[in-house]
Amino acid sequence: DLASTRHSTSQGCDDAAAALHTLFDSLGLNPQYQNHTAGHAPNVFGTIVGSTAPDEVVIAIGHLDDMPSSGPAPGADDNASGTAMVTALAEAMSCYSWSRTVRFLAVTGEEFGLYGSEHYASQAQSAGENIVAVLNADMIGWEGDGNPAVEDLDVNTNSGSAWLGTLMREAADEYDTGLVVNDFS
């Protein structure tokens, strides 16, 4: 049976957000909904508060919504794969304490023009949230179209997060993944 659409304005997306809220709650992540645009399913996030540097926030984000707006639309690549990364990290990391605050964020309205992520970013900026790193997983399940011939991972950084791109490249090399990591600013 094919999954129904998770189009941002659909019941399927609301249901998916509720399922993530339930998962985050079961992991002790104090989940919250964040409404952003009338008629769209809410963003949902869970948080592990940092033990020694709680004011420094690391975010793992994926968008929950997909296309098209009706009919079967499992959206496995775009972007259930990104949401799967967020939930897998939440499950793995929730058993530990971390020096920095870690936020697991699933946003909606992205297929409409980044509604959910822009709202979250605007609210975080207004609140003075000190975001030190963001792992934004979009279409990480993409099998590839042969261009480039060997698929790679593009890690786009700014000057404050260049260390993260370097770390990801070094980890891929150290663990001999065979994955080419292109980190750039």
Q: Specify whether the backbone of 126 is left (phi greater than 0), alpha (psi in -120 to 50) or beta.
A: alpha
Q: What is the pTM of this model?
A: 0.90
Which of 54-58, 116-120, 130-134, 150-154 has the lowest average pLDDT? Answer: 150-154
In order of 21, 40, 160, 161, 171, the CA distances from 167 in angstroms are 30, 36, 13, 10, 6
For the segment 29-47, what is each residue's pLDDT rounded down to a tens digit?
A: 999 999 999 999 999 999 9
Region of residue 74 (left: phi > 0; alpha: psi -120 to 50; beta: else): alpha
**Helix (H, G, I), strand (E, B), or coil: what is residue 158?**
coil
Asked if residue 57 lies in contact with residue 129, where contact means CB atoms within 8 angstroms, the answer is yes
Contact 26, 69 (CB under 8 A): no
Least confident interval from 42-56, 110-124, 128-142: 128-142
Digit-coded pLDDT (tens) for 13-28: 999 999 999 999 999 9
Q: Would you say 4 and 72 are in contact if contact means Cβ atoms under 8 Å apart?
A: yes
Token output for 71: 């009919």
